[in-house]
Amino acid sequence: MTPVAVVTGAAGGLGSAVVAALAQQGWGIVAVDLVEGSGTGEWVQGDVRDDATLRRALKVASELGQLGGLVTATLAEGKAPLDELDTRVIADVLEAQVGAAWAWTAAAVEAGASSVVHVSSVHAQRAKAGMAAYAMGKAALDALVRAAAVEWGPRGVRCNAVLPGFVPVERNRARWSDPAAAEELLNHHPLRRFVTAADVAEVVAFLLGPQARAVTGVSLPVDGGMLAQLPDWA
């Protein structure tokens, strides 16, 4: 029976690359996003915070084959200076990034999935002005990964995360299309190249698949070395 993976945030730059990578490895795909997608897999349009969307996605997965994996790549940022944030913004980001991730993970495991990968971020481990809500959400997501690995490991469930750094996609085009801005960004990458969405997707596919059968509870940077490098002033 075809192994099936559910991918949330599937229409985004990273999500669409994950869909492509998993399809290439032979997974059946249920792709979930707010916008109507196209291309590989069966698409479910809806908000990941909506239980009805979750139920539809799992139903489609059961019709395709045996649910084996889940990838969450939903984006919620809430950009604002720290002193301008309010509890509603923080709650919205946490609900989309952590609450929904937990709900989808719990439901997918109940439906038979044995491998889960969450798309986190280097922001889970570093701070940048104006990104506090996003960073809090990603740090909490990493905590969920560890908790799921420990509590559900005895059931044969693995849970991991990837921590992308800067990935040039359409929504951040202004930051990499200008040569001077791109050069400044590359100064923070010891590999002296940008990490592509395909680079991240290949690591996601590895973690989701059987070759990573002994890996769980890990939040793995896929950042070209950004987190490894001390700033110039250090």
Q: Is residue 99 part of a domain?
A: yes
Of 15-29, 74-88, 201-215, the poorest mean pLDDT is in: 74-88
Q: Is residue 180 part of a domain?
A: yes
Segments forming the whole domain that contains residue 55: 3-223
Q: Is residue 228 part of a domain?
A: no
- Number of domain units in the chain: 1
| DSSP-derived secondary structure letter, 123 | G
Per-residue pLDDT, averaged over 186-199, amounts to 91
Q: Is residue 50 part of a domain?
A: yes
pLDDT of residue 233: 67
**141-179 pLDDT per residue, tens:** 999 999 999 999 999 999 999 999 989 887 777 778 788
Q: The whole model's pTM is what?
A: 0.94
| DSSP-derived secondary structure letter, 97 | I
Three-state DSSP class for 67? strand
pLDDT band at 47 (very low <50, low <70, confident <90, very high): very high
Q: Is residue 232 part of a domain?
A: no
**96-143 pLDDT per residue, tens:** 999 999 999 999 999 999 999 999 999 999 989 999 999 999 999 999
Catalytic-residue membership of 126: no
pLDDT band at 234 (very low <50, low <70, confident <90, very high): low
E strand map for 46-121: 66-72, 115-119
Q: Is residue 234 part of a domain?
A: no
CB 4 within 8 A of CB 61: yes
Q: Which of the residues 134, 152, 166, 206 is marked catalytic?
A: 134
Q: Is residue 102 part of a domain?
A: yes
Q: Is residue 36 part of a domain?
A: yes
Output 125-130 pairs: Cβ under 8 A, ≥24 positions apart: 125/163, 125/227, 126/227, 129/81, 129/82, 130/79, 130/80, 130/81
Mean pLDDT of the chain: 93
- CATH number, domain at 18? 3.40.50.720
% of residues, the chain, pLDDT over 70: 99
pLDDT band at 184 (very low <50, low <70, confident <90, very high): confident
pLDDT of residue 88: 93
